[in-house]
Structure 1
Amino acid sequence: METPNFAQVMSRNRFQAILQFLHCNNNETAVPHDQPGYDPLHKISPVIDILNQTFAENYRLNQDVCVDERVVRFKGRHQLKQYLSNKKAHKWGIKLWVLAESYTGYTHQIKVYKGRRNEARSENGQGYQVVTELMTPHFNKEHHVTVDSFFTSPKLVHDLKDNGTFCTGTVIKTRLGMPKSYRNAKLQKGDMTVKYQGQLMAVLWADRRLVTILTTTGSACKVNTTNSRGTDVAIPSAVKRYNYTMGGVDLGDQLLLQFEPNFKSVKMWRKLLFHQLVTAAVNAFICYKRTFVVETKLDHLKFHQQLCQDLLGNHRDGTRNQQIRTVRPVHRQLARITERHFPEKIPDEKRKKCVVCAGTERFRKSRIQWWCATCKVGLCIDGCFRRYHTRINFEE
């Protein structure tokens, strides 16, 4: 089984040769493992930096954004490989910290987790460090960032507010600065407790379990919404906003999984490279939906197909002669088995050698005047034509 269009653009051998010698950085400038300044992402860091800059320059974020983790599937050996039990799609891989737009899933910034040994740890914790680094370029722009309990702390929410950024997030009740009365609180389902510290509001709400929310926006009132069973329920406004604005990274993951290459590679940086390229294509699709207001917009699949055609258009025109040499023989395509074929005389009284008789004494001595006009190969009309179009391994 194969996809014939791929062979019309590039042969398998040429693709593998390019992949073998593909590099994104100069290996001679890499710092050795045992020396200060070692960067485990040296091979891929230029691509990440360029794409992060491109993502930021070509898209203006809406007010609601979110920060969450993303996993690039990888089962090979590498010091950056992580196990994340909360991920359903794939639990082993390279962890990324992602800043995304809440409602579209647009990936705005990516930060690869380098591990404890290769990153300076903040005295305020890793979650605080990640959110502040990703949000620093967006301070004092009235953005609202949503995070989960791994990142949220009273200090983070306070500091974001001091820098003109709103924040909402679930939080662990034992975090430093949280009300001590929340630690052993017992509430009936639907009950709510609210405490304030300046502009910071802490909400403790009893659903199926106790939920604790920190926020610098919204009010303590309850609002009506519909749960997963279709029942109308009243929940705190902070919880509703968290539910609506936390899914940006997960939405981006869903779009990525549709087209992410699922090939095996022992080199971690290659997996990151192709993941970044697919991320760029998904971001382009989001920009397309937001920019072009037409009735007949392309869906995700057709957009990617059109993108591939546009990228390959110049290549096909400019290297036509080269493609003739690199295209795989037509007799290896599945189309010769499934489509309709008829024998015809070769135009202009030309003659060809039969591809079925290849390697035989008859092939070396004779040329024939019959061919398959669809497959463009010479075929003896007495048996070879039927053999060629009915057997996958017609040479045997």
Structure 2
Amino acid sequence: MIPFTGHVSIRQHIRGKPYPTGLKNFVLADPTGEVLDFQGKNSFPDAATSTLSIGGLAVLRLTQTLPAGCSLFVDRYFTSIRLLDCLLEKGITVTGTIMKNLVPRNAKPCLKNDTEMKRQGRGSINQIVCDDNKICITQWYDNKAVLSASSEFGAQPNDSCKRWSKEDHAYIEVPRPAVIKQYNDKMGGVDLSDRMIPYYRIGARTRKWTIRTILHMVDLSLVNAWLQERQDMLNKGTQIKHLRQFLDFRLAVSEDLLFPAGIQTWNQKTDPPQKRIALPPEAARNTRRSTCHEWLRLKCSKM
């Protein structure tokens, strides 16, 4: 969300967002948090005639620049079986959580209800595979039932994860399907970018949504540059504790923009500033008041 509270037709309010009022912006990012592409919500002229939702159209638009063989991870707002089929034709696999009402009708009888999965215990898994063996729908019960769809991963191979148990008052090992593990590992990139931008956002009191959008893109570029620097330093073997923080990186960029190469900068130690001319001391408060009173007395006497 690009925060904006002015009057514009594309502004919307989404509950639960850190900045609920503003301009919706769909983002494509890699697992490290670097933003690869973005797309506004009100830019799909074929939304009325398409069989896909706004989220599905946004995914299709953002994946136009991706080559075949990429793995895409989305949340339940975007996931649908129709979207998985469309991207599979382009050679792109999709993995994401899915809403229960978007599961095909012929597959719903094979799903288990939440009560049955809860009775089986924490970590119970149910898997459904389509007829052509290209799409897999997986149910997994953790604290509640989680439904996922993927054209690349399934329930196997299983691993285990630690979860807190209120009954045992300790951490226990819970079986976890492979699709959930891959989804949890790859879905943190967009959240990282959204978390870093508001820390030091460029502030401007403006009623123009264009200026707000431009400033947001500047913040987005700074976050991308900082993430790229961190990744390069990690590839060179630098320890995490020696990496530059985001605030220090922004200050360094500001200094480079204010004092580019070739411009002489003032150094306080070697080139001290010229001293100010000393002004005569002001008269004491009592003196000023007495002078004023004497002036008024003289003026009144002349009148």
Q: What TM bracket, shorter-length normalisation?
A: 0.7 to 0.9
1:180 positional shift: 1.6
Q: Given the superposition, is the C-alpha separation of residues 94 and 381 from structure 1 closer, same or farther in structure 2, using an over 3 Å criterion?
A: same
1:119 matched residue in structure 2: 45
Other structure's SS at 1:378 match: coil
Counterpart CA distance in 2 for 1:305 and 1:157 is 43
Which consecutive residues of structure 2, in runs of 5 or more, have no partner in the other structure? 166-170, 266-272, 285-303
In the alignment, structure 1 residue 97 sits paired with structure 2 residue 23? no
Q: Given the superposition, is the C-alpha separation of residues 187 and 300 from structure 1 closer, same or farther in structure 2, using an over 3 Å criterion?
A: same
1:314 matched residue in structure 2: 260
Instruction: Encode CA deviations 1:360-379: one digit per residue, 9 max, x unaligned.
Output: xxxxxxxxxxxxx8873533
Runs in 1 of length 4+ with deviation above 4 angstroms? 228-231, 381-384
- Spell out the pairing of 1:205-224 with structure 2 (5 A cutoff): 205-221=140-156, 222-224=158-160
Counterpart CA distance in 2 for 1:90 and 1:225 is 33
Match of 1:236 among 177, 185, 188: 177
- Spell out the pairing of 1:208-357 with structure 2 (5 A cutoff): 208-221=143-156, 222-227=158-163, 231-292=172-233, 293=236, 295=238, 296-314=242-260, 317=263
Other structure's SS at 1:303 match: helix
Other structure's SS at 1:317 match: coil
Counterpart CA distance in 1 for 2:34 and 2:112 is 39
1:288 positional shift: 1.3
AA in 1 matched with 2:213: L
Match of 1:172 among 82, 86, 99: 99
Instruction: Encode CA deviations 1:316-346: one digit per residue, 9 max, x unaligned.
Output: 938x9xxxxxxxxxxxxxxxxxxxxxxxxxx
1:249 positional shift: 1.0
In the alignment, structure 1 residue 129 sits paired with structure 2 residue 70? no
Aligned alpha-carbon RMSD (Å) = 2.7
Identical residues among aligned pairs (%): 22
Q: Given the superposition, is the C-alpha separation of residues 164 and 377 from structure 1 closer, same or farther in structure 2, using an over 3 Å criterion?
A: farther
Match of 2:15 among 57, 62, 85: 85
Instruction: Encode CA deviations 1:133-163: one digit per residue, 9 max, x unaligned.
Output: 11122131x2111111111111211222222
- Spell out the pairing of 1:35-54 with structure 2 (5 A cutoff): none
AA in 1 matched with 2:136: M
1:184 positional shift: 6.5
Instruction: Encode CA deviations 1:119-145: one digit per residue, 9 max, x unaligned.
Output: 3312222222111111122131x2111
1:370 matched residue in structure 2: none
Q: Is the 8 A contact 1:148 1:171 kept in 2?
A: yes
1:108 positional shift: 0.8
1:228 positional shift: 6.8
AA in 1 matched with 2:144: R
AA in 2 matched with 1:211: V
Other structure's SS at 1:109 match: strand
Match of 2:78 among 144, 151, 160: 151
Counterpart CA distance in 2 for 1:271 and 1:119 is 24
Q: Given the superposition, is the C-alpha separation of residues 316 and 84 from structure 1 closer, same or farther in structure 2, using an over 3 Å criterion?
A: farther
Which segment is superposed worse, 294-303 or 234-243?
294-303
Instruction: Encode CA deviations 1:169-206: one digit per residue, 9 max, x unaligned.
Output: 11111215261226672322432210101221100122
Q: Given the superposition, is the C-alpha separation of residues 212 and 177 from structure 1 closer, same or farther in structure 2, using an over 3 Å criterion?
A: same
Instruction: Encode CA deviations 1:269-291: one digit per residue, 9 max, x unaligned.
Output: 11101000111111111121222
Q: Given the superposition, is the C-alpha separation of residues 267 and 377 from structure 1 closer, same or farther in structure 2, using an over 3 Å criterion?
A: farther
Q: Given the superposition, is the C-alpha separation of residues 139 and 380 from structure 1 closer, same or farther in structure 2, using an over 3 Å criterion?
A: same
Counterpart CA distance in 1 for 2:8 and 2:282 is 59
Which consecutive residues of structure 1, in runs of 5 or more, have no partner in the other structure? 1-70, 321-372, 385-396
Q: Given the superposition, is the C-alpha separation of residues 206 and 302 from structure 1 closer, same or farther in structure 2, using an over 3 Å criterion?
A: same
Report the TM-score when normalising by structure 2. Answer: 0.76
Counterpart CA distance in 2 for 1:215 and 1:199 is 9
Counterpart CA distance in 2 for 1:383 and 1:298 is 53
Report the TM-score when normalising by structure 1. Answer: 0.59
1:109 positional shift: 0.5
